Chain A
């Protein structure tokens, strides 16, 4: 009896051993490699690059429908929030402001009601792509909702190539409503000279009713028609440093909104746009913040 059991046991051992080796080969040593994937399967750093490319491309074409369809390929639950968060992250890391601005503008335009959206550039030559009808690239200038992208049929092939796993960096999906200076103060503050002002200060109000966090500096920028403008550069300077950011990084509040958290007792100056009048003497005091409204002066 004992000998018979021992005989069965060695078969089971062989099976288990073989199973373990088989799994090791298929999951670790030679995992499946996929081809024909879609952008939603990309590793996060590549998705971030993809978003930046979509945003910069949108800057030129102003084809919002096409930009939206391209963003949908990435499979983000909330593309607007992801764009705004990416823009904030880039600014915090002192990366190129042009890309951050493009992301902010696209986020803001996606968040606007359709009737407020900018018209695309004159691209009447564009036409919907026939054939499989599944390509977003040559979309029409109108919002071609009928262009549907298929789920990609990734082709799986076991290959002996070693696995290449791309580490996923942490990117917070939730944009912060208030911004705190995150980089070390620079040695000299660079005051922006007063020149011809494309943005005029319309209102300056100190808010001490407790409805905003103490020291919060809120900025709203609008055009001559009162429509909020995203992507407008805002520069805040103080004795030991300066920070630059853009409107539109909190599209859930307003496309033309930006804010900055001041330190109590520090005096700040602020400029909006490339050249604008300097708003001086902004000080955070107990329980008070500031709200500034800028508009483009009419012709």
Chain B
């Protein structure tokens, strides 16, 4: 009898947990606010990279461009730009926009390779 009660007790706990998780994950999940840029959809990321490319085309500051890209994701800036360029091509961005992003990518890749070349 006692064993039966114990089994039922744990069964109710399990049921309660299941109900709690369904409620917390499905019926009333935490609102998706205060997210980080890494959760952005790919086309928004690509647009952000385009903006950085536009700024770079205007001010020529690669350092600032890299800093702005690092806000987006925890990846090398060149990688972020390359990923964005892929998305941009899929979405058929205008040629001028693609060109700006390609120039930014080239500059970042050159900076990375020259930096690697200088290391002992």
Q: How far, in Å, is B119 (CB) from chain A's closest CB? A: 30
Give Cα A272 to B12, complex, Å.
75
Q: Which of A24, A135, A164 contacts B91 (CB under 8 A)? A: A135
> Do the beta carbons of A41 and B33 come within 8 Å of each other?
yes
A158 within 8 A of partner (CB): yes
Known: A14-B9, A32-B30, A57-B51. A37 touches B35 (CB 8 A): yes
Give CA–CA (A20, B10) in the complex, Å.
Answer: 14
* Contact call B40/A37, Cβ cutoff below 8 A: yes
Q: Which B residues lie within 8 Å of A210 (CB)?
A: none
Find out whether the CB atom of A53 lies under 8 angstroms from the CB atom of B14. Answer: no
Cβ of B58 and Cβ of A60 under 8 Å apart?
Answer: yes
Bound-state Cα–Cα, A21 to B37, Å: 31
**B55:A57 contact, CB within 8 angstroms:** yes
Q: Bound state CA distance, A56 and B88, in angstroms?
A: 21
Bound Cα distance A67, B22 (Å):
41
Tally of chain B residues near chain A (CB < 8 A): 54
Look across to chain B and name the residue whose beta carbon is closest to the beta carbon of A7.
B5
Contacts of A61 in B (CB 8 A): 54
Interface residues on A, range: 35 or more
Q: Contact between A18 and B8 (Cβ–Cβ < 8 Å)?
A: no
One digit per residue, 1 when the CB lies within 8 angstroms of any chain A CB and 0 when it does not, for chain B 54-68 equals 110111000000001
Verify B13–A17 contact, CB threshold 8 A: yes
The answer to the question of A171 belonging to the interface, with a C-beta cut-off of 8 Å to chain B, is no
CA distance A43 to B39 in the complex (A): 11
Binary contact track A8-41/B, C-beta < 8 Å → 1, others 0: 0011111111111111111100011111111101
Question: Which positions 139-176 of chain A face chain B at CB distance < 8 Å?
Answer: 152, 154, 156, 158, 164-166, 168
Evaluate contact between A41 and B5: CB separation under 8 angstroms.
no
Contact A23 B36 (CB under 8 A): no
| Cβ A15 vs Cβ B12 within 8 A | yes
Number of A-B contacts (CB under 8 A): 195
Q: Is B19 an interface residue (CB 8 A)?
A: yes
The interface residues of chain B, by DSSP majority, are classed as helix
Q: What 1/0 mask marks residues of chain B from 1 to 32 whose CB sits below 8 Å from any chain A CB?
A: 00001001111111111111111110001101
Say yes or no: A166 contacts B40, CB within 8 Å. no
Does any Cβ of A come within 8 Å of B102's Cβ?
A: no
- The answer to whether the Cβ of B118 comes within 8 Å of any Cβ in the partner chain is no
CA distance A298 to B21 in the complex (A): 71
Across the two chains, which residue of chain B brings its CB closest to A33?
B39
| A168, B94: Cβ atoms closer than 8 Å | no
Contact check: which of B23, B24, B32 meets A34 at CB < 8 Å?
B32
CA distance A46 to B18 in the complex (A): 35
Q: Are A32 and B25 interface neighbours, CB within 8 A? A: yes
CA distance A166 to B37 in the complex (A): 12
Enumerate chain B residues within 8 angstroms of A166, measured Cβ to Cβ. 34, 36
Contacts of B36 in A (CB 8 A): 42-43, 46, 164, 166
Check: A291 CB closer than 8 A to any chain B CB: no
Contact, CB under 8 Å: A23 / B34: no
Q: Does A46 contact B24, Cβ atoms closer than 8 Å?
A: no
**Inter-subunit contact A22/B18 (CB<8 Å):** yes
Known contacts being A123-B96, A138-B94, is A23 close to B20, with CB within 8 Å? yes
Report Cα–Cα, A223/B59, bound state, in Å: 25
Name B's A-contacting residues (CB within 8 A): 5, 8-25, 29-30, 32-37, 39-44, 46-48, 50-52, 54-55, 57-59, 68, 71, 88, 91-97
Q: A11-B12, A22-B17, A44-B34 are in contact. List 7 more A-B contacts (CB 8 A).
A: A10-B9, A25-B20, A31-B29, A56-B58, A135-B91, A137-B93, A138-B92
Can you list 13 A-B pairs with a CB-CB distance of less than 8 A? A11-B12, A13-B12, A18-B15, A25-B21, A25-B24, A32-B32, A34-B32, A37-B35, A53-B68, A59-B55, A60-B55, A73-B44, A137-B93
